[in-house]
Amino acid sequence: MAMRRQLAAWTALIALTLGACGGGASGAGDGGSPPAPPPPPPPISDAEAWRFLNQATFGATPAAADEFKRLGAAAWIDAQMALPASLQLPFLQALPAPQFPFERQADRLDAWFRNAVNGEDQLRQRVAFALSEIFVVSQQGALVSYPYGLASYYDMLAGHAFGNYRELLEDVTLHPAMGIYLSMLGNEKPDPALNIRPDENYARELMQLFSIGLVELNADGSVRLGADDQPIPTYDQATIEAYAHVYTGWHFAGAPSFELAFPNAFNQTIPMQLYPDYHDTGEKRLLSGVVLPAGQTGEQDLAGALDSLFFHPNVGPFVAIRLIQRLTASNPSPGYVSRVAAVFDDNGAGVRGDLGAVVRAILLDPEARPAAPGATDGKLKEPLLRLTQLWRAYDARSASGRRSLRAAGVFFGGAPPAAPPVFNFSGPFYAPPGEIRDGSLVAPEMQIATEYQNTLVTNYFLYQAFGLNSASDALAEDDVYIDIDDEVEVAADTDALIDMVAAKLTGGELSATLRAEIETMLALLPADDPVLRAAETIYFIASSPEFAYQR
């Protein structure tokens, strides 16, 4: 039954998007007005609009800020959540079959950038990106040969961005991309004569990384301590082995048998199928005293196992911390975590795991919108988010139409989704040496902000500003360039130029130092070389610490 529900959801998702392919209702909010409009909220400042949009989208822009100020936060979220998902798989499927599957990874990246930079469903795409950094799969490794599977996996995350966590868990578990990545696909029941026992990979990581974590948490996300003053492990090796027995018998769908289940372009995009002969039917003793009786089907076992995780009290704070860190703050207070976790536990209508309500709670929490951000509020933007923000602000495009930044893996520390083995590039508890670590704070994005990576990203912004712009006559057809025509027009006027770039990249805010240094440089550049002046200004702002910081 779980399987049928699963398939139905999947099909509905695909149908929804196919139908929505061409349209894209722009400017959500000019739909029909409600009969009795509430009194207008107090006006929203530019700074507030920019902060909110940098938290909730792939980068604030002046146009997006105008729309946000008109709608207000709550209505903006409503409008965004109503938009259908921009998908990757239909884009890939419209292209001819490649000679070698891995060749389509560049096109998958193209689709990712199109949706991230230009998708109307910005909130959904940003949350899908966050989910992809929690429910990690990677194109590095075996999945390099499964571009359709990866695209379909990402689409699945986008489809569930405002859905229910329990259904997300099930679709993640049964997706063949995850099945390949964490080796549940092909996992079979024990064969004691050959010392073969079920693969523990997915059983372990589903608990550690996707649902409850290693140690018991309080509702505010803090670690519970036992009588010995030490953290209390949530599970032990025996628990892992019990769950490993649950996840047996699944393989690519539609094959004549388990042994003959080979991948093709289609079965990597639909949920795995149970092959009952390979499922362990013994009793399984799970977390929280849940016991799955012997003789159940694989679907029954799976439902019981996922329920046992879904109802574990850790899930609320576990999910709250991770989503808050991806969207708004590296170091949420216990109060912030517990408010969001409470919404996870109950959305107000008695429903547990409502991700739409969780996202809303994260974005509308007072802690996400302090009047004046303190030293530890906010977070660092990961390099890709700085790039997408620049591209959104400068209407980036290429002659061929492709947005396939093939160098993303080098310059930006990984094309999405592409993480080092299993653990995402930045663990939620990474603390760089120095005042952050010494203050018992964390900064996950600092893990990839190394001397090496920062230099590459800085250099990329240099190439983008000076070379890959609309004034260049040396662009290759796939080069993604930024449109600096407006800047070129005003470039002779230093103040006007700086104001214009700042308006597009920071909502107009610039530190005195940054403005002064740009002025210094512009004074040295020839007044009659507007392209150089425009590029210099964009480079200095895009590569600055303040542009790397999300308030």
Partner 1 sequence: MLKAAAAFAATPGAAFAQSAGFVAPFSDYRALVCVFLFGGNDSWNMLVPAGGAEYNAYAASRQNLAVDAATLLPINPLTPDGASYGLHPSMPGVQSLFEDDGAAAFVANVGPLLRPTSKAEVLAGAANLPPQLFSHNDQQDQWHSLKGVGTSRTGWAGRVADLIRGGVAEQRMATNVSLFGATLFQSADETTAYVMGPSGPVAFEGFGSEGILLEQRRAFERVIAANYNSVYERAFAAVQRRAVAAADEVGAALEAAPALATAFPVSLLGQQLETVARLIAVRDELAMQRQVFFVAAGGFDSHDNQNEDQPGLLGGVSEAIRAFYDATVELGVAEQVTAFTQSDFARTLTSNGDGTDHAWGGVQLVVGGAVRGREIYGSYPVLEIDGDVDVGGGRMIPGIAADQYAATLARWFGVDDADLDLVAPNLANFAIRDLGFLA
Give whichever of 22 and 421 is closer to partner 1, judged by the CB atom: 421
Q: Is 111 in the site for partner 1 (CB under 8 A)?
A: no
Query: Which range binds partner 1 by CB under 8 A, 26-34, 83-91, 178-186, 360-368?
Result: 178-186
User: Does position 12 bind partner 1 by CB under 8 A?
Assistant: no
- Nearer to partner 1 among residue 69 and residue 437 (C-beta): 437
Residue 427 sits in the site that holds partner 1 (CB under 8 A): yes
Measured distance CA(373)–CA(50) in Å, rounded = 13
What six digits make up the tokens of 397? 């495009």
Q: Per the structure block, which two tokens stand in for 447? A: 């893990």
543 binds partner 1 (CB under 8 A): yes
Q: Which residues contact 83 (CB under 8 A, 6 or more apart)?
A: 25, 28, 120, 121, 124
**Near partner 1 in 378-417, by CB under 8 A:** 378-380
Query: What is the DSSP code string of 362-375?
Result: HHHSGGGS-SS--T
Check residue 513 for interaction with partner 1 (CB under 8 A): yes
Task: Work out whether 521 is an interface residue with partner 1 (CB under 8 A).
Answer: yes
User: Torsions phi, psi of 252, nearest 5?
Assistant: -50, 140
Using the rule CB under 8 A, give the single segment among 199-207, 249-257, 296-304, 352-360 that binds partner 1. Answer: 199-207
The residue from 62, 525, 529, 531 that contacts partner 1 (CB under 8 A) is 525
Please, are residues 199 and 35 in contact by the beta-carbon 8 Å criterion?
no
Of 103, 366, 420, 476, the one binding partner 1 (CB under 8 A) is 420
Residue 59 or 213 having the CB closest to partner 1: 213
Q: Residues 287, 252, 158, 313: what is their CA dihedral angle, to the nearest 10 degrees?
A: 0
Query: Is position 74 an interface residue for partner 1 (rule: CB under 8 A)?
Result: no
Q: How far is the CB of 20 from partner 1 (least distance, A)?
A: 37
Query: At its nearest, how many Å lie between partner 1 and the CB of residue 450?
Result: 4
Which 335-374 positions form the footprint of partner 1 (CB under 8 A)? 373
Residues between 430 and 449 with contacts to partner 1, criterion CB under 8 A: 431-437, 439, 441, 443, 445-449
CB of 524 to partner 1, least distance (A): 6
Interface positions, 318-337, toward partner 1 (CB under 8 A):
330
Q: Positive or negative, the Cα torsion across 508, 512, 517, 523?
A: positive
Residues between 465 and 484 with contacts to partner 1, criterion CB under 8 A? 466
Q: Which of 280, 377, 479, 487 binds partner 1 (CB under 8 A)?
A: 377
Q: Which of 222, 230, 264, 400 binds partner 1 (CB under 8 A)?
A: 230
Does 195 sit near partner 1 (CB under 8 A)?
A: yes
DSSP letter for 479, please. Answer: -
Q: Tell me the closest approach of the beta carbon of residue 509 to partner 1, in angstroms.
A: 12
**Angle formed at CA 29 by CA 24 and CA 35, multiple of 5 degrees:** 130
**Judged by CB, which is closer to partner 1: 246, or 343?**
246
531 is an interface residue for partner 1 by CB under 8 A:
no
Residue 142 to residue 186: CA distance in whole angstroms: 14
Residue 197 makes contact with partner 1 by CB under 8 A? yes
If binding is defined by CB under 8 A, does position 233 make contact with partner 1?
yes
Mapping DSSP to helix (H, G, I), strand (E, B) and coil, where does residue 33 land? coil
Instruction: Assign 3-class secondary structure to 94-128.
Output: CCCCCCCHHHHHHHHHHHHHHHHHHCCCHHHHHHH
**Range 240-259, binding partner 1 (CB under 8 A):** 240-241
**Which listed range, 73-81, 144-152, 261-269, 462-470, lies at the site for partner 1 (CB under 8 A)?**
462-470
Total number of residues that touch partner 1 (CB under 8 A): 84
Helix axes 298-310, 237-246, angle to 10 degrees: 140
Is residue 219 within the footprint of partner 1 (CB under 8 A)?
Answer: no
Q: How far apart are CA 196 and CA 384, in angstroms?
A: 43
Task: Pick the closer one to partner 1 by CB: 326 or 551.
Answer: 551
Long-range interactions of 341-350: CB distance < 8 A, separation 24+: 341/219, 341/220, 341/221, 341/316, 341/317, 342/219, 342/316, 344/165, 344/315, 344/316, 344/319, 344/320, 345/316
Tokens 């080098």 -> residue: 410
CA distance 96 to 501: 40
The least distance separating partner 1 from the CB of residue 323, rounded to whole angstroms, comes to: 18
Can residue 545 be called a binding residue for partner 1 (CB under 8 A)?
yes
Q: Does 141 bind partner 1 (CB under 8 A)?
A: yes
